[in-house]
Structures are given as C-alpha cells and as structure tokens.
C-alpha cells in the first residue's frame, strides 16, 4: 500500500507539472539561451540593414536535420560561456530526437526526466534513513506538488538536474556511513562500496552545475568530521578527502574551461566578489529566506518553525530526548544548510526568479524540517498535534497554487504580444537593436518567429534606409532596444520611410519596447 501511495504521488506530481506546462506561454531570456547554446547551427547574428527570414532564426533554436547529437559543438559553445556541459548534452539529446522543432516541451520533458530521478532518489534516501511513513508521504506530497518544484520543472535550465545530483549525493554519503560500519577494516571494499559512488556522482554533479560544489563541500566536511572525531579514523578521512579531490580534478581535466569559468569568467568573478563581501550577508540571507517563506511555504514558514520550537520546549519540560538527531540527519542537515547559505552569497539577485538557485535543495529542506517536526510531535505523544500540522501544511500547499499563484516562469503576459505579432504577421517588422547588446534580440524570438522575415537595423548607424519594402511601408511594427541613440534612430526611420511618424507604444519588456508606427 505504501509503494502504491508513493507511485500515486509521483504520477499526480508529474500531471500537475504537465498541466502548468500547457499554461507556459513564454520564455525567460536564459531559456532562449538554453535552446540557442545547445542547438545552434551557424550562430545567431543580427545583420544591419538586411532582412532575416524565419528559418534562419528557427535553425538556431532547434536541431537541424542531420546536425543532431553533435556533442562536440555543445561542449565548445558552453566553454565560451560560464556553464559546464552535461545538462546541455542531455537537452541537446532530447532536441535531437525531434529535429526541426522549437518547442517548450523539449525543455519540460528534459526536466521531468530529472524530476522522476530526483523523486525516486528522495524515496531511496528516506528508506536509507528509515524515515517514518508519515514523513515520507507528507514530504513527497509537499515537495512534489510544491509551486517551486513545478517552477523548477518549467524553467528550461539545469536546476532540475542539479536537484537530482544533490539528492543522489546525499544518498551515497548516507550509504557510505552504513558501509563504514561494515567495511571499516577493509579499505578496498569500503572504497568500492562507499567512496567510489561518491566520486562518480560528484564528477557528474560538478559538470551539471558548479553550485553542486556547495552541497558536496558542506556534506563532505561534515562527513570528514564524523570520520575523524566520531570514528577516530585518520586513514579513512584522508582516503575520502583525496578521493573527492580526485573526482573534481577528473571533472576539470574533462572540461578545462571550468577553471576559467570559476576563477576568470564574469559569473565566477561576480560570485567571488559577492561571496567575500561580508556586508551583504544579512541582506542576502534575509532575501532567500523570504523566498523560501513566500514561495515554498506560502507565508507559513514561521508557523512551522514556531510549532517546532514549542514542541522542543515541550520535550524539555517532559525531560524527553529528541531522538531525531542521529549522525546521518546531522550530516544531511549540514550539507543542506551549507548549500543554502553558500548559495545565498553567490547567486544573482533577480527577484523571485532567484529562487531557481535554491530550488534544487528545497526537497531536502522540506524532508529535514518535516522529519524533525515528526519526532518532536511523536515524543510529545499528541496525535491531534500531528493531524493539525498535516492540515496546515496541505493548506499552505493549496494556498500557493490557488491564492498566491506562486508557479513561476509561465509568462502569461506574452499571450497578448504573441497574438499581436501573429495578427500582424504580414506587416513589415523592424528590429532596431543596440549594437553593444545585439545578442539580446533572442529575447524576442517567439514574437519574431511569427513573421516570415524581419528587417534588422543598428540603432547607432545613422545612414538612411534604402530597402523599398521598408521605406514604402504604410505601417511598421517596430521592436526598439534601449540605446542612447534611440531618438536619432527613430528620426532616421521617419525621414527614410513613408510612415508619418505616429508612434503607438504597444508593449514593454527588459531592454525592448514594441511600437506600431504609421
């Protein structure tokens, strides 16, 4: 019965993510980058005073027939940016199975595969830890159906796969602790049963997302302390630390660009600057705890914490021991809290979208919190307290979906933009781009693909337009980027073309404004 309940939770969780997948109407700019950097052909470019047809753009976001499974190019493109390649290999593989298609479902399916792995890994982890069935069911339900888990499944980036790597890392560390008790005197077997799986997972995890290091280092430090101070085994501690270092070195040898990404790339440099800035620590922790409260617990985190504190106080009054704090739980807690805190110091602050950096750890946060809460309630011996807590958590879950509407990355505002572009697909569309940030044209991809062709012009080029299809048009759909010379570019357009110069502002988004010009 327990097994069927877990399968039902998994099925419902997938269906909920698929339901929201149908509601996803647009893309985050980083999602466009996922498609482009995984599937590019010639390379996205912006010509000046020239037309670009739909297929040229389309080919840069989808795998062209005959160009699938090109992992060498995927690795090369990622080396130019700041990310490791494994997630992009996986995504490119999914896209290669359906060449010629640019669809959100390639990304969502890729994420759902990772979610299934994470879900099964969570079940395995809880069984390794002998987590009570109440905690298993409630944790899987609250995490699997949580708006932030759904958001992670909808964001077409590497964070769902990072979640899988982190949970698997937790499992192999817990299994090492069990293997130690059985094979502590046989270092060869201990290495094969306990340490080698850690090396394999960490090699892959590092190459999925560099933030994996935060969890690996945190849980690894805790485990090393356990070996040294609890088991008093210096040789095994050295073997573990050296093996972990070797796994990361092998990952770096496999992907040498990682060194530059971490220590010389713009994200590595920015993250390091933020990490060593002590003054921002309080603000950053407060910001990410706020996201946890608002988007995971729908404002109810404080209620959960208060109930936990009151329960612990009741234990103290009754002089009962809190039996939930075993060594495995402590080490898992250190890894989880360590990742959360280190990520708060290094992640980009971009509003609610910043939650993506912490989403991979939310499952473990929920498990540890509920597990601790269960033992406190169980020790108190009041079943009504447990029922009330379960009801409260389920209410928080429902509130996040139906009242707060906390599922992110849906972009319903793009519906109107897409409808307008589709309704004017036969009009002349002009993209007036900023040459310093020309690549940001990809943020308009969905809209631009509605037109058979689009005319591009550099805003800082003041030469008159000569293309008759543009100059003789009685209406122009203009996508204009922010630029210091935007006014001069507008004047140039009006003086070159037949339109009278009546600008009607339609839509605005980061770096772009859409006008109808007559």
Picking from 462, 415, 414, 411, the residue whose alpha carbon sits closest to that of residue 435 is: 462
Residue 425 counted as domain residue: yes
Distance CA 179, CA 194 (A): 6
Sheet strands (E) in 103-245: none
What counts of helices (H) and strands (E) characterise the chain? 24, 6
* Rounded (10°) CA dihedral 338, 344, 345, 350: 160
Write a three-state SS string for 323-369.
CCCCHHHHHHHHHHHHHHHHHHHHCCCECEHHHHHCHHHHHHHHHHH
**Residue 306 confidence (pLDDT) above 90:** no
Distance CA 415, CA 61 (A): 20
Picking from 25, 147, 18, the residue whose alpha carbon sits closest to that of residue 410 is: 25
Residue 44 binned pLDDT confidence (cut-offs 50, 70, 90): confident
Note the pLDDT of residue 372. Answer: 85
Distance CA 136, CA 133 (A): 5
Residue 395 counted as domain residue: no
Residue 403 counted as domain residue: no
Where is 477: in which H helix or E strand? strand 476-481
First to last CA, the chain: 67
Note the pLDDT of residue 206. Answer: 98
Distance CA 500, CA 482 (A): 22
Residue 216 counted as domain residue: no
Residue 209 counted as domain residue: no
Which residues, in sequence order, are bridge partners of residue 508? Answer: 513
Note the pLDDT of residue 39. Answer: 95
Residue 235 counted as domain residue: no
Residue 189 counted as domain residue: no
507 is in which domain, residue-wise? 414-517
Task: Provide the CB-side half-sphere exposure for 123 (13 A, CA).
Answer: 16
- If you average pLDDT over residues 99-109, what whole number do you get? 96
Which residues, 6 or more positions from 435, have their beta carbon under 8 angstroms from its beta carbon?
458, 459, 460
Distance CA 345, CA 342 (A): 5
3-state class (DSSP) for residue 504: strand
CA atoms 75, 80, 86, 88: torsion sign:
negative
8 Å CB contact between 151 and 362: no
pLDDT tens for each residue of 255-275 = 999 999 999 877 777 777 888
Picking from 42, 44, 43, 36, the residue whose alpha carbon sits closest to that of residue 102 is: 36
- If you average pLDDT over residues 421-447, what whole number do you get? 93
Note the pLDDT of residue 7. Answer: 92
**Residue 318 confidence (pLDDT) above 70:** no
pLDDT tens for each residue of 202-246 = 999 999 999 999 999 999 999 999 999 999 999 999 999 999 999
Number of domains, the chain: 1
- If you average pLDDT over residues 292-314, what whole number do you get? 86
Which two tokens mark 85? 């390649």
Where is 26: in which H helix or E strand? none
Where is 476: in which H helix or E strand? strand 476-481
Which residues, in sequence order, are bridge partners of residue 352? Answer: 350
8 Å CB contact between 26 and 450: no
Q: Which of 2-16, 180-194, 372-386, 433-447 has the lowest mean pLDDT?
A: 372-386
Note the pLDDT of residue 316. Answer: 66
pLDDT tens for each residue of 325-343 = 588 988 999 999 999 999 9
8 Å CB contact between 140 and 363: no
Residue 338: count of CB within 10 angstroms of its CB: 20
Residue 420 counted as domain residue: yes
Report the DSSP pairing between strands 512-517 and 503-509: antiparallel
3-state class (DSSP) for residue 58: helix
Picking from 13, 17, 298, the residue whose alpha carbon sits closest to that of residue 143 is: 13
Note the pLDDT of residue 325. Answer: 54
Taking the model in full, what pTM does it have?
Answer: 0.95
| DSSP string for residues in 380-441 | HT-HHHHHHHHHHHHHHHHHHHHTS----S--TTHHHHHHHHHHTTTSEEEEEE-GGGGGGG
Residue 359 binned pLDDT confidence (cut-offs 50, 70, 90): very high
Which residues, in sequence order, are bridge partners of residue 453? Answer: 53
Distance CA 340, CA 342 (A): 6
- If you average pLDDT over residues 72-94, what whole number do you get? 96
């Amino acid at each position: 019965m327990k097994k069927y309940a877990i399968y039902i939770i998994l099925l419902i969780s997938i269906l909920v993510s698929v339901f929201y997948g149908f509601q996803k109407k647009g893309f985050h700019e980083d999602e466009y980058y996922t498609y482009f950097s995984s599937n590019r052909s010639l390379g996205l470019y912006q010509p000046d005073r020239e037309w670009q047809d739909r297929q040229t753009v389309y080919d840069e976001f989808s795998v062209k027939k005959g160009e699938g499974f090109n992992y060498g190019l995927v690795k090369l493109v990622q080396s130019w940016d700041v990310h490791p390649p494994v997630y992009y290999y996986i995504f490119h593989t999914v896209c290669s199975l359906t060449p010629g298609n640019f669809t959100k479902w390639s990304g969502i399916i890729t994420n759902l595969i990772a979610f299934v792995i994470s879900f099964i890994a969570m079940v395995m982890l809880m069984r390794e830890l002998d987590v009570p069935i109440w905690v298993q069911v409630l944790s899987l339900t609250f995490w699997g159906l949580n708006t932030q888990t759904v958001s992670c499944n909808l964001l077409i980036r590497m964070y769902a796969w990072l979640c899988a790597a982190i949970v698997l890392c937790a499992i192999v560390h817990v299994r090492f602790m069990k293997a130690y008790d059985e094979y502590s005197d046989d270092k060869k077997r201990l290495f094969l049963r306990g340490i080698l799986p850690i090396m394999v997972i960490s090699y892959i995890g590092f190459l999925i997302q560099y933030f994996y290091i935060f969890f690996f280092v945190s849980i690894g430090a805790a485990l090393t302390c356990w070996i040294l101070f609890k088991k008093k085994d210096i040789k095994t501690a050295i073997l573990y630390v050296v093996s972990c270092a070797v796994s990361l070195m092998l990952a770096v040898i496999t992907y040498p660009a990682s060194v530059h990404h971490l220590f010389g790339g713009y994200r590595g440099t920015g993250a390091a600057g933020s990490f060593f800035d002590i003054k921002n620590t309080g603000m950053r922790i407060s910001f990410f705890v706020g996201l946890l409260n608002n988007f995971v617990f729908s404002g109810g985190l404080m209620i959960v914490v208060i109930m936990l504190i009151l329960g612990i106080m009741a234990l103290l009054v009754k002089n009962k021991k809190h039996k939930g704090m075993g060594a495995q739980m402590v080490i898992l807690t250190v890894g989880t809290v360590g990742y959360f805190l280190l990520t708060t110091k290094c992640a980009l602050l971009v509003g609610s979208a910043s939650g993506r950096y912490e989403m991979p750890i939310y499952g473990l946060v929920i498990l540890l919190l509920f597990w601790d809460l269960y033992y406190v309630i169980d020790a108190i011996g009041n079943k009504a307290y447990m029922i009330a807590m379960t009801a409260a958590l389920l209410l928080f879950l429902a509130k996040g979906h139906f009242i707060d509407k906390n599922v992110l990355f849906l972009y319903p505002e793009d519906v109107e933009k897409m409808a307008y572009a589709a309704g004017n697909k036969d009009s002349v569309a002009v993209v007036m781009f900023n040459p310093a940030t020309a690549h940001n044209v990809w943020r308009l991809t969905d809209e631009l693909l509605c037109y058979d062709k689009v005319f591009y012009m550099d805003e800082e080029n003041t030469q008159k337009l000569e293309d008759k299809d543009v100059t003789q048009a009685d209406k122009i759909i203009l996508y204009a980027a922010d630029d210091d010379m935007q006014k001069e570019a507008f004047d140039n357009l009006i003086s070159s073309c037949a339109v009278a110069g009546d600008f009607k502002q339609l839509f605005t988004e980061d770096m772009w404004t859409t006008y109808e010009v007559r």
